[in-house]
Structure 1
Amino acid sequence: MSLTNELAAFISPLAPAERGNSFEVLALRLFAYQYAHNLPYQRLCNGRGQTPETVTRWQDIPAAPASAFKRFALTCVPESECVKVFHSSGTTGGETSRHFMSVDARELYKISLKAGYARAFGPEPPRLLALMPPTDTAPHSSLSFMLETLGAEFLWGESSADQLRHTLASLSASCTLFGTAFAWVNFFDATQGECFPLPEGSLVIETGGFKGRSREVEKSELYALFTERLEVATAHCFSEYGMSELTSQFYSQGLTGPKLAPPWLKTRLLDPVTGTDAVPGQPGLLAHYDLANYNSVLAIQTEDRGVWDERGGFQLLGRAPGAVLRGCSLLAE
């Protein structure tokens, strides 16, 4: 069986006994493939002295800094053979991250998106409505691609508030409303106090982040608006955490629920100075290991801070201002 098929089998919503190889076995195989074919990443690994010949645990697979996606084409196939390129939103300046997708990577991405969403919200979740631009308007948005893959109906454009107002007023069955935090604030501001009670069983999903595109509100205030204006209880409000550099997502429930990952996505919390695991109970930099990241790098060290939650998963603490990340030798090259 090919590596992509084995990864797909592991990611698909099967019983654990049917998954075949373990996370670690697949992570080490994927690392070897990416080391052999992704030359910028190979240079990083060589500089650290961590290669497929020396690495025996998934935790020791070198994590590329997320900022490397801005400077290098981290792809295992030539750029010309990639069928999709996702860009970040560029919140820290003019440069944006680029995530190159080969045909195999795109298909694995779709499998991961569907399996992760089903794991979080059940095999038959309610009708999905998105306060996001569709892929023909935002071809480089991984979030738009995700929602299209999940079969969402897009409500976007100059008349998006009126369109959503009409749609919400005509709902007769439960639904899931998905949008960025700034899209939600813009909608609530545009509708000026109007209420749109959603049918029982409806859910709301927000992605967090404002990026200067609306007034900023605290998460507690935003969730209060969901309850006040949509009549959706806080327990039915969810947060999605993802990155354009990753192909899998974390979900959390309510105001304080931890970010939970599917079995093919693991996280470490790293001390920003030593690069080793942070002391339990102490914040650390998030490093994600995603088996669905086939064509780029499976291990990514972010600039986000988090802390482990005793209920499982982690609490997101936001960006780490001024953090000096290990692995920046790649950028120096």
Structure 2
Amino acid sequence: MKPNEDIFSINSKDEFNAHALAIFKHQAINGEVYKEYIHHLKLDVEQVKRIEEIPFLPISFFKTHRILSSKNPIEVTFSSSGTTGMVQSNHYVTEVYRYEQSYQKAFDEFYGSITGYCFLALLPSYQQRSGSSLIYMVNDLIEKSKHSQSGYFLYNHDDLFEALVELKAKNQPTILIGVTYALLDFIEQYDIDFPELIVMETGGMKGKRKEMVREELHEQLTKGFNVPAIHSEYGMTELLSQAYSLGDGIFNCPNWMKVLIRDTNDPLSLIQNGKTGGINVIDLANINSCSFIATQDLGRINNDGSFEVLGRFDNADIRGCNLLVQ
């Protein structure tokens, strides 16, 4: 199997595994940093026959190295958010259309057609800096929705409130994508009664508020917007795919993405479902960078394949991607 075959048409576990192994071998040969990392592990690439045997690159490498497995020109560089003086991660993307395909197809899988929604964005911390992959995605969703009221609301909460009232009156399916602290700021000012609204929090207080456990946060947001559940997106600068939660902090991946859980004491070993450990992500859309990333998030996998994000490793940098400490 060639590693550039259409990964977005995967519809079985066997297909996923075959694609993952093909991409692993491609990146183990063509990714200089990943190749060196594998060399230091003294791993024979040809002996890797199962995805559970694939080594995952620590996500911190994106702060110190150019993680590439392609010679193609870089089309866009996504950078992580962070406080002043914090080293940012950089994700060099050589084929940005893969990112566009990934989030468009994932959205269609979880929510249906983009054109069926009005998108409202309350993302001040992301909007006020350059290099945000989230802003790149939201810009595209707003444009493709072709809805006249789709757009950003920086700090103009009055306009956002008026838009929500109007959209509810028109029975317009609407998604409000917001950074956590901004959503909390908004509901402290306004009483919203819009049960059909999809509120999607992207995580992170950005140093604006004290971190909260997910249950407390979602309880406040469900009451504030009078919605039955809070949706969430699990993505990060270093990935080209996202998982989504339609409520209760239970995330599911699109068919070209998979989460595995590693032992916190032995990062090269995986642990069984139901146990807490470090989140490893396989993102097959990230073919020209690295598709096998060991994040600094803690989580667990449920028996149905869904997963939960339970916090961060101690001393890990705080940044906004559903990094709610519990």
TM-score range, shorter chain: 0.7 to 0.9
1:228 aligns with 2:223: yes
Task: Report 1:91-240 matches (<5 A).
Answer: 94-103=86-95, 106-123=96-113, 125-132=116-123, 138-151=129-142, 153-157=150-154, 159-171=155-167, 172=170, 173-189=172-188, 191=189, 194-198=190-194, 201-234=196-229, 237-240=230-233
Match of 2:74 in 1: 82
Q: Deviations over 1:35-71 (max 9, x none)?
A: 2222111100111123532322222222100000000
8 Å CA contact retained: 1:258, 1:311: no
Q: Deviations over 1:164-200 (max 9, x none)?
A: 12212322223111111122123234x2xx22322x5
Match of 2:263 in 1: 271
| RMSD of Structure 2 on Structure 1 (CA) | 2.7
| Distance in 2 (alpha carbons) for counterparts of 1:64 and 1:2 | 22
Q: Deviations over 1:82-111 (max 9, x none)?
A: 1111111126961011111003xx111111
8 Å CA contact retained: 1:90, 1:97: no
- Superposition TM-score, scaled by structure 1 size: 0.82
Q: Deviations over 1:238-297 (max 9, x none)?
A: 111111111111112323x42111111112111122221124432111111110112210
| Distance in 1 (alpha carbons) for counterparts of 2:298 and 2:128 | 32
Tell me the secondary structure at the aligned position of residue 262 of structure 1: coil
Structure 1 residues 176 and 280: alpha-carbon distance in aligned structure 2, compared to 1, 3 A threshold: closer
8 Å CA contact retained: 2:29, 2:35: yes
| Distance in 1 (alpha carbons) for counterparts of 2:314 and 2:296 | 8
Q: Deviations over 1:213-240 (max 9, x none)?
A: 2344443343334333322122xx2111
Displacement of 1:134 = 11
8 Å CA contact retained: 1:185, 1:215: no
Counterpart residue identity of residue 271, structure 1: D
8 Å CA contact retained: 1:50, 1:61: no
- Superposition TM-score, scaled by structure 2 size: 0.84
| Distance in 1 (alpha carbons) for counterparts of 2:197 and 2:246 | 14
Of residues 46-55 and 216-225 in structure 1, the stretch that sits farther from structure 2 once superposed is: 216-225
Counterpart residue identity of residue 181, structure 2: F
| Distance in 2 (alpha carbons) for counterparts of 1:287 and 1:160 | 38
Displacement of 1:77 = 3.8
Match of 1:326 in 2: none
Which stretches in structure 2 are left out of the alignment for 5+ residues? 144-149, 317-326
Counterpart residue identity of residue 224, structure 2: R
Which stretches in structure 1 are left out of the alignment for 5+ residues? 324-333
8 Å CA contact retained: 1:269, 1:277: yes
| Distance in 1 (alpha carbons) for counterparts of 2:214 and 2:93 | 33
8 Å CA contact retained: 1:134, 1:154: no
| Distance in 1 (alpha carbons) for counterparts of 2:256 and 2:231 | 21
8 Å CA contact retained: 1:250, 1:260: yes
8 Å CA contact retained: 1:182, 1:215: no
> Which of 286, 289, 294 is 2:282 aligned to?
289
Of residues 239-248 and 134-143 in structure 1, the stretch that sits farther from structure 2 once superposed is: 134-143
8 Å CA contact retained: 2:127, 2:135: no
| Distance in 2 (alpha carbons) for counterparts of 1:141 and 1:176 | 20
Identity %, equivalent residues: 31
| Distance in 2 (alpha carbons) for counterparts of 1:29 and 1:84 | 25
8 Å CA contact retained: 2:52, 2:270: no
Match of 1:313 in 2: 306
| Distance in 1 (alpha carbons) for counterparts of 2:141 and 2:305 | 26
